């Protein structure tokens, strides 16, 4: 068991995370029902208000709180109890982030911030909404500082020993997060807050969109990296294998830091004001970031196979059978991993210019990220929670809860197959995302979309039931399960693996290269936007 005080900090983060997941899922269910045309919301709630709550609470709050909680637990496990300053900073971060979350939720519920989680200007929310987001971001920075501080002190105390793999990855994840959130913090602090308060009356839209997407793409890697941490470090232990290579795992994380940030234009491929050569340049970089994902896939299947063969599996695929399919700690992340195969392929499609033209802003995109973040990442997080929550609360994962967890995973997979599958198909037909129920005055094409939207509602209902089951399991594991000692599964490195070169811990080098790439990819187009920008826009409240 890790230090009680650290366990408490981690549990607090996890609680807010699951609370956000629950509320967000209610919104999600209602959205699918509205879009299928089966229900109408009571007058006081709007579809877009729900969608804002769903996006903010799931994409931003559920993920970030879960990640910070998970990283704290793993850091305390691998580097030892948090030192005083890092722990206190962590709590301060928690308070700020929670305050921001509550404030943002209130303003969304008051219908003062129906701008969706991307808050594109010149739709203008109440200034308090932006202030709330700043609290979430700055609070998460405090957590980043606190984790880096822990790492720094640990390195000092151990005379620069090689850091534990988990902690290295945690430091890297927060480095990526920090560099990425500089963009969104800049647009909120320098553009949105002064403009929404009325200190300035205009906003430059393209600059705000560019700063947002400078953040928006690495955001998805910030979700993915902790899932990869589970795959690289936790899964090998659970299946009775060893980590394939410490060095390659670290190298993959370095590559994510380098290539996941200077690529935001692939979200802006269809907009005016950015030249196509810069778009193409960033698309090339986007494709580079696929390489570390390929490395991860290789490592994972190498671990599965070697572990399987050690257990006596024979034949080309004999090792598949001996994997612990009945252990939810393996099963849930494994389903996430398998879903990542089509999800990743979809990502390559989205980033390709001409194909982007077909799917941009259609339900295909919504289908895509319900496979990536809402399945690959979410299922891995659920798989982590099933052992982490009892581990932190001094309880045990009972066989019964294990079984419920497996059922939960299957329900999630089936529900998502319906919902995301239907979204992908109807998106290809052209059905737009972020759109309440409509038939466009009974246009025959739009009428053809309705059955798919009904399939989305079937999927959404199964998913919502799966969330209820999840909340029950987590609640049971936190408060009711039998007291006992759980294991924090941490893999060891294969003896034959090559040793880790010191250069991988040269932070100045990697952050330097990352900054250089950002500089190359963004300076000229950004300068052009400022130099040749049109007059700005006043705010609009069209809801």
Among residues 392, 310, 475, the alpha carbon closest in space to that of 4 is found at: 392
Of the two residues 67 and 493, which places its CB atom closer to ligand HEM in the complex?
67
Please give the residues from 108 up to 147 whose contact with ligand HEM meets the rule CB under 6 A.
116-117
Exactly one of 287, 433, 437, 528 is catalytic; which is it? 433
Of the two residues 35 and 217, which places its CB atom closer to Cu ion in the complex?
217
Strand partners, 493: 243
Our finding on whether 58 is near ligand HEM (CB under 6 A) is yes
* Token couple for 221: 């890697």
Of the two residues 241 and 460, which places its CB atom closer to ligand HEM in the complex?
460
Q: Which stretch binds ligand HEM (CB under 6 A): 26-34, 98-106, 140-148, 213-221?
A: 26-34
Among residues 496, 420, 508, 488, the alpha carbon closest in space to that of 458 is found at: 420
Exactly one of 54, 87, 135, 368 is catalytic; which is it? 368
The verdict on whether 369 is a catalytic residue reads yes
Exactly one of 267, 370, 395, 424 is catalytic; which is it? 370
Q: How far is the CB of 502 from Cu ion (least distance, A)?
A: 32
Write the DSSP string, 163-201.
PPHHHHHHHHHHHHHHHHHHHHHHIIIIIIHHHHHTSSS
Token pair 């068991």: residue? 1
The verdict on whether 433 is a catalytic residue reads yes
CA distances from 119 to 32, 60, 360 (A): 22, 13, 18
Of the two residues 322 and 458, which places its CB atom closer to ligand HEM in the complex?
458
CA distances from 499 to 246, 249, 493 (A): 8, 12, 10
Please give the residues from 446 up to 505 whose contact with ligand HEM meets the rule CB under 6 A.
460, 463-464, 467
Exactly one of 5, 309, 434, 528 is catalytic; which is it? 434
* Residue nearest to Cu ion according to CB distances in the complex: 217
Our finding on whether 28 is near ligand HEM (CB under 6 A) is yes
Exactly one of 259, 369, 386, 452 is catalytic; which is it? 369
Residue from 169, 303, 373, 486 in contact with ligand HEM (CB under 6 A): 373
In whole angstroms, how large is the CA radius of gyration of the chain? 23
The verdict on whether 217 is a catalytic residue reads yes
CA distances from 220 to 60, 179, 264, 304 (A): 10, 14, 11, 26
Token pair 């899932």: residue? 227
The verdict on whether 542 is a catalytic residue reads no
Which of other proteins, Cu ion, ligand HEM, none does 401 bind, CB closer than 5 to 8 A by kind?
Answer: none
* Token couple for 323: 């994997």
The verdict on whether 209 is a catalytic residue reads no
Our finding on whether 366 is near ligand HEM (CB under 6 A) is yes
* Token couple for 245: 């290579």
The verdict on whether 368 is a catalytic residue reads yes
| 394 burial level (CB within 10 Å; 0-12, 13-18, 19+) | middle
Residue from 17, 54, 235, 268 in contact with ligand HEM (CB under 6 A): 54
Q: How far is the CB of 312 from ligand HEM (least distance, A)?
A: 39
Of the two residues 262 and 459, which places its CB atom closer to ligand HEM in the complex?
459
Of the two residues 325 and 440, which places its CB atom closer to other proteins in the complex?
440
Q: How far is the CB of 60 from ligand HEM (least distance, A)?
A: 8
Q: Which stretch binds ligand HEM (CB under 6 A): 9-17, 47-55, 299-307, 509-517?
A: 47-55
Of the two residues 154 and 369, which places its CB atom closer to ligand HEM in the complex?
369
The verdict on whether 267 is a catalytic residue reads no
Give phi and psi for 537, each to the nearest 5.
-120, 145
Q: How far is the CB of 148 from other proteins (least distance, A)?
A: 25
Of the two residues 15 and 361, which places its CB atom closer to Cu ion in the complex?
361
Report the distance separating Cα 43 and Cα 195, nearest Å: 30
Which of Cu ion, ligand HEM, other proteins, none does 383 bind, CB closer than 5 to 8 A by kind?
Answer: none
Report the distance separating Cα 55 and Cα 129, nearest Å: 14
Exactly one of 35, 217, 250, 424 is catalytic; which is it? 217
Q: Which stretch binds ligand HEM (CB under 6 A): 22-30, 232-240, 283-291, 472-480?
A: 22-30
Give phi and psi for 234, each to the nearest 5.
-85, -50
Report the distance separating Cα 307 and Cα 323, nearest Å: 8
| 508 burial level (CB within 10 Å; 0-12, 13-18, 19+) | exposed
Q: How far is the CB of 40 from ligand HEM (least distance, A)?
A: 15
Q: How far is the CB of 135 from other proteins (least distance, A)?
A: 25
Long-range contacts for 532-536 (Cβ within 8 Å, ≥24 apart)? Answer: 533/204, 533/206, 533/207, 535/202, 536/202, 536/203, 536/204, 536/205
CA distances from 431 to 54, 363, 365, 445 (A): 20, 6, 11, 9
Among residues 404, 337, 398, 327, the alpha carbon closest in space to that of 372 is found at: 337
Which of ligand HEM, other proteins, Cu ion, none does 464 bind, CB closer than 5 to 8 A by kind?
Answer: ligand HEM
Question: Which residues contact ligand HEM by CB under 6 A?
Answer: 25, 28-29, 31-32, 35, 51, 54-55, 58-59, 62-63, 116-117, 366, 369-370, 373-374, 378, 433-435, 460, 463-464, 467
Q: What are the residue numbers of the active site?
A: 217, 221, 368-370, 433-434
């Amino acid at each position: 068991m890790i230090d009680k005080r650290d366990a408490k900090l981690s549990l607090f983060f996890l609680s807010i995370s699951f609370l956000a997941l629950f509320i967000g899922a209610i919104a999600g269910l209602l959205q699918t029902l509205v879009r299928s045309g089966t229900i109408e919301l009571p007058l006081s709630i709007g579809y877009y208000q729900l969608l804002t709550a769903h996006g903010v609470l799931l994409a931003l709050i559920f993920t970030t709180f879960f990640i910070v909680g998970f990283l704290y637990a793993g850091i305390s496990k691998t580097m030892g109890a948090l030192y005083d300053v890092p722990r206190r900073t962590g709590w301060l971060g928690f308070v700020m982030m929670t305050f921001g979350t509550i404030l943002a939720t209130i303003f969304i519920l008051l219908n003062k911030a129906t701008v969706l989680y991307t808050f594109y200007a010149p739709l203008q929310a109440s200034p308090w909404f932006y202030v709330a987001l700043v609290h979430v971001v700055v609070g998460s920075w405090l957590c980043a500082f606190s984790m880096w501080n822990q790492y720094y002190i640990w390195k000092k105390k151990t005379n620069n020993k090689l850091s534990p793999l988990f902690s290295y990855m945690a430091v890297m994840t927060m480095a990526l997060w920090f560099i990425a959130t500089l963009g969104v913090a800049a647009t909120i602090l320098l553009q949105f807050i002064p403009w929404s308060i009325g200190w300035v009356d205009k906003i430059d839209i393209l600059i705000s969109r560019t700063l947002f997407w400078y953040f928006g793409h690495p955001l998805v890697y910030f979700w993915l990296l902790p899932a990869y941490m589970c795959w690289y470090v936790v899964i090998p232990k659970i299946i009775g294998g060893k980590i394939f290579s410490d060095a390659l795992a670290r190298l993959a994380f370095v590559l994510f830091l380098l290539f996941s940030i200077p690529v935001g234009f692939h979200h802006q491929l269809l907009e005016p004001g950015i030249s196509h050569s810069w778009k193409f340049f960033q698309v090339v970089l986007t494709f580079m970031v696929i390489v570390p994902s390929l490395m991860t896939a290789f490592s994972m299947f190498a671990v599965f196979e070697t572990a399987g063969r050690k257990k006596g599996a024979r034949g080309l695929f004999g090792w598949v059978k001996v994997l612990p399919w009945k252990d939810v700690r393996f099963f849930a992340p494994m389903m996430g991993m398998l879903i990542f195969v089509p999800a990743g392929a979809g990502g390559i499609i989205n980033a390709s210019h001409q194909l982007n033209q077909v799917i941009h802003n259609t339900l295909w995109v919504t289908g895509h990220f319900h496979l990536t973040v809402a399945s690959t990442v979410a299922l891995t997080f659920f798989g982590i929670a099933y052992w982490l929550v009892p581990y932190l609360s001094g309880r045990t994962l009972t066989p019964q809860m294990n079984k419920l967890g497996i059922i939960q995973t299957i329900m999630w997979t089936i529900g998502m197959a319906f919902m995301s599958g239907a979204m992908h198909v109807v998106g290809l037909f052209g059905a737009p995302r972020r759109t309440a129920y409509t038939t466009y005055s009974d246009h025959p094409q739009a009428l053809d979309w309705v059955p798919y939207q009904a399939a989305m509602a079937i999927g959404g209902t199964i998913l919502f039931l799966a969330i209820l089951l999840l909340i029950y399991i987590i609640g049971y594991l936190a408060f009711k399960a039998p007291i006992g000692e759980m294991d924090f599964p941490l893999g060891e490195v294969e003896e034959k693996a090559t040793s880790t070169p010191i250069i991988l811990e040269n932070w100045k080098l990697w952050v330097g290269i990352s900054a250089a790439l950002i500089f190359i990819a963004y300076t000229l187009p950004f300068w052009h936007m400022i130099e040749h920008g049109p007059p700005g826009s006043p705010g609009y409240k069209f809801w």
